[in-house]
Amino acid sequence: MKYSSTRDPKHKRTPSEAILEGLSAEGGLFMPEAMSLMSFPMADLPSMSVRDISVAVLSRFFDDFTESELRTAVSGAYDRAFPGGDIAPLQRVGEAYVLELYHGPTCAFKDVALSLLPRLLTTARDKCGVTDEICILTATSGDTGSAALSGFADVPGTRIVVFYPEGGVSPAQERQMTTREGDNIHVCAVRGNFDDAQSGVKAIFSDPPEIPGLRFSSANSINIGRLAPQIAYYFKAYRDLMAEGRIVMGDAVNFVVPTGNFGNILAGYFAKKMGLPVGRLICASNRNRVLTDFFETGCYDRRRPFHLTSSPSMDILISSNLERLLFLLCGAEKTAQWMRALREEGRYTLPEEAHAALRNEFSAASADDAETAETIRRVYEANSYLIDPHTAVGFCALEKWRATEEANGAPVVVLSTASPYKFSRSVLTALGQETTGNEFTDMQRLCEKTGIAIPEPLRGLSERPVLHRDSRGVSEMRSYVEQCAGGGK
């Protein structure tokens, strides 16, 4: 199988090369040329373990890996990161199901893919005969950074640089990054928002510093090695619904996905393309509703106020993975035109036929902070079930979608992307409780209020020494990378 760029089909790579490079030289994202031929063995799904499902998905994306190499990578990653065994428990909550994706080492859904990516990347490096050290560059809106640091810390032959928006992540998210130990890691706050950090990283990929013995790659979902592992938990959720007797093979299931960068919901669309009976994919946005407006109008317009919300991981105006969907819809030439327009003019508009094709697959709704808080309270009071603000955005979007003519009566799975304890201040406030102004004290108060245990990875977080205090302007990101990649600390 070959991969090509979403902006230029002449840029072709093997699967291992696509993982290793992360981003095409002209700024496009790598996509498998045989996507339409990938099919999951649905008849085997009821008897497959989570690891079997992951290997089956990955083997279709990375056919230059042997099954043994993939199984070793999957087992090694998940045995270490998810010692409890289940990477994504499915829970019934009211009239919906919740896929809990936050039981890994950093209590966020990014752990599922980022515990595996380092093993895929180092195997790809060996397959390509590369002896250079790999420097991972990552921009994060909150959870990717800590999960990437957890995955890559002290991995031989790698170095990782994480940029996050200063003041744009929760205190718990920031502390998870700034206290992370590892001789090969660098963490830096960016004086700007996530889009600034993400654009800065993309600019470095487009014109990387030339440092002998070192090459750059990405841990963001722009890297296909990060995105592909996320597809597996959609199949896993479907398997669990069959095991419960809620559905039989072939029944449709709807998925509600809180998303900002469009990677998590795109994984669900890929699962559908591979044969999973997906009904609707409901894209849930916060007050920065650029994706909701896009699906409703066909116009993507980032020229709008940027809002800091209670769901900071979705505080994004440039949704990078949407580019892959556009490529599948209209091809590389149109995609390149739209990405150029987005960069130069801040907007682009789909033709009516393309917009209609998207509306056949996706629904969209958004929630502001007041609606998010009310949803947290209502879900807890009705079900004694605690959700974080991002998951609450998903529940609110579900309620709005159910009130439309699109609702189809099929079972609904809401993807829960983070532990509520990563946002304890917002959750405590939503429950009508006084907060202390200290996120970590509020964790304990939330535990006392609900009787729900604080996840082990978040206990004692406030007492860990801060090891990373760097802060840079957007224009200084390149020189910071040069310093770190060249061995500086």
At residue 25, the pLDDT reads 87
**Span 286-323, pLDDT tens digits:** 999 999 999 999 999 999 999 999 999 999 999 999 99
- What lies within 8 Å, CB to CB, of 199 at 6+ separation is 318, 474
Task: Name the residue with tokens 């060249």.
Answer: 486
Distance in angstroms (rounded) separating the CA atoms of residues 274 and 439: 42
At residue 331, the pLDDT reads 95
- What lies within 8 Å, CB to CB, of 258 at 6+ separation is 264, 284, 285, 286, 311, 314, 390, 391, 393, 394, 397, 415, 417
Q: What is the DSSP letter of 37?
A: G
Q: Using DSSP bridges, classify how beta strands 185-190 and 158-165 pair: parallel, antiparallel or unpaired.
A: parallel
The CB density around residue 81, as the number of other CB atoms within 10 Å, is: 20
Distance in angstroms (rounded) separating the CA atoms of residues 165 and 332: 31
Kindly indicate the confidence band of residue 37, based on its pLDDT and cuts at 50, 70 and 90.
confident
> Is the confidence at residue 104, as pLDDT, over 70?
yes
**Span 179-188, pLDDT tens digits:** 999 999 999 9
Residue ranges of domains in the chain, CATH in brackets: 90-103+227-455 (3.40.50.1100)
Q: Active-site residue among 2, 12, 110, 272?
A: 110
At residue 487, the pLDDT reads 55
110 is catalytic: yes
Distance in angstroms (rounded) separating the CA atoms of residues 489 and 484: 6
Are 397 and 372 contacting, i.e. CB atoms less than 8 angstroms apart?
no
Distance in angstroms (rounded) separating the CA atoms of residues 275 and 269: 10
* 42 SS3 class: helix
Kindly indicate the confidence band of residue 88, based on its pLDDT and cuts at 50, 70 and 90.
very high
